[in-house]
Amino acid sequence: MQGTYDPILVALSILIAALAGYVAIEFAGRLFSRRDEWVKWLVGGSLAMGSGIWAMHFVGMSALMMPIAITYDLGITVFSWLAAVVVSALALFIVSRGELTKVNLGLGALAMGAGVCVMHYSGMAAMKMDPGLGYDPFWFTVSVIIAVVASGAALVLVSALQTIRSWADVARRVGAALAMGVAVAGMHYAGMAAVTFEAGAFCAPGNLLSGGALTTPTALLSLLGLGLAIFFAVKDARDAIQAEREARAAAERLEVLAFVDRETGLPNRPRLSQLISDALGAAEPAFGLVSVRVQREDGGDGRAQLPAVAKALQADVPEGVIIARTSPDQLLILQDVYGLRRGSRELLPLLQRVDAAFGARGVRLAYGLAVAPEDGDTSQMLMLRAAARGGSIIEFGQLLAAYGDRSLGAITSYRSEPAPPVRSSAA
């Protein structure tokens, strides 16, 4: 007795197999990343994937159009479904354990291949035909080999595609799912080719499930179930990505709070300390720290006036210069050595303008300078040295002139002692 295949049902069975493969990849990714909900994703993935694979085999068997009515035994059919769920659980369990070793791959492929064969051939046995079904040894062997090889390939693909970093990974998942669908379908139709039906055979009258009546509901329910499984997996992935973005944003906000002065928006002392340490780690560290301390003419501290001073400095600060607030009444300016050498043309005129503007408001500014590496090899030492050398704008101009005209070593001897009048070029 011969039968023919319905091409629409064949294509539908391959589509269901591919969707089941995609569910396997998606749920394996959840198992890998959501260890706190491992059991939930394992159970859900096993049910969705197993039901999808079983539905593929059922639709594939229904695609074979026979001249007799096909029915199935309820108990054996349920057993074949359970076999598909167990095989899916085994696959997800193996890939969720981490790195896929050769031993795990080999044992997993054999166990899964055996389970797939049990599912398929028990599903065939559910027809309970009289006389019984026969099997061609060659095609039976081919179907077993395909089951084992396809199972191993599925384990490799699912294990390799657990995480998504780009759209290319999404495309790989879709391609892998299609490959898995073709492989599972190949095993099924090789197994179907192995079956021989005796002339005059018929299904047992005690079978409760009608093949023709169950094909459409099975296909629709499997597509719906697999679609929902993919929807929830993708939604969970999007939620996880959103949660990660929010956590990253919260961390960035905490970093801003930790390293930025709230009142001025400038880097604070810990942040400047990091920047100085980074600069000291260069092959040839060479930079200067300019201290600007804000005080009132009546002797009070200038914390209330400091934000305005900082704003005035920021408005015209040379490119590449970093201004930080290191105490309530002090600013530190991080400047590379070459910028300091040009100080009489860039930095000093800016400080002179700010000094004159705030001097008219009863605010006195004291300036100091420390140069790395001569004045210290740690950020703390350099910041202390810069703050300790507090002098007027005249003295600071003399210091820059001495630094530019003579050598780096001239800076280390400066202690704000009275100095000769500053030259016009540095005034």
Which runs of E-coded beta strand occur in 125-232?
A: 129-130, 134-135, 195-196, 202-203, 209-210
Closest residue by Cα to residue 155 from 233, 73, 97? 97
Q: Does residue 257 belong to any structural domain of this protein?
A: no
Do 226 and 353 reside in the same domain of the chain?
Answer: no
Helices (H) and strands (E) in the chain, counts: 14, 12
Q: How many CA atoms lie within 13 A of 286 on its CB side?
A: 10
111, part of any domain:
yes
What DSSP designation does 377 have?
S
- Are both 317 and 362 inside the same structural domain? yes
| Residues 196-210: b if buried by 16+ CB within 10 A, e if exposed | ebeeebbbeeebebe
Beta strands in 297-346 (DSSP E): 322-327, 330-336
pLDDT score recorded for residue 174? 79
Residue with tokens 């969720």: 96
Q: 422 is written with which tokens?
A: 């500053």
| 240 and 275 housed in the same domain | no
CB-CB neighbours of 224 under 10 Å: 10
Rounded to two decimals, the pTM is 0.55
Tell me: do 232 and 309 sit in the same domain. Answer: no
Q: With DSSP H G I counted as helix, E B as strand and the rest as coil, what are the percentages for the chain, rounded to 5? A: 65, 10, 25
Question: Are 237 and 385 members of one domain?
Answer: no
Domain that holds residue 128: 4-247
Q: Looking at the structure, tell me whether residues 296 and 371 fall in a common domain.
A: yes
Per-residue confidence (pLDDT) for residue 141, from 0 to 100: 92
Give the closest residue to 90 by CA, choosing from 137, 176, 152: 152
pLDDT of 356 reads 92
Query: Is 263 a member of any domain?
Result: no
Q: Show pLDDT as tens, one digit a residue, over the chain (427 residues).
A: 566 888 898 888 888 888 887 887 777 777 766 667 778 878 888 888 888 888 888 888 888 888 788 888 888 889 988 988 888 888 778 777 766 678 877 877 888 788 888 888 888 888 888 887 888 899 999 988 988 888 888 778 777 766 666 667 777 777 877 887 788 888 888 888 888 887 777 887 877 787 777 778 888 888 888 888 878 777 776 776 777 788 887 777 777 677 888 888 899 999 899 989 988 888 777 888 899 999 888 777 788 999 999 999 988 887 778 999 999 999 999 888 776 766 667 788 889 999 999 988 889 999 988 888 888 889 999 998 888 877 888 888 887 777 665 444 444 444 334 333 333 333 3
**Could you say which of 247, 279, 295 is where a domain stops?**
247
Count of structural domains within the chain: 2
pLDDT for the residue 409: 46
Given this model, what pLDDT does residue 425 score?
Answer: 33
Residue 254 lies in a domain: no
Q: Are residues 222 and 288 in the same domain?
A: no
pLDDT for 308: 92
Domain boundary among 247, 277, 301: 247
Last residue of a domain, one of 212, 247, 282: 247
Predicted local confidence at residue 358, as pLDDT: 92
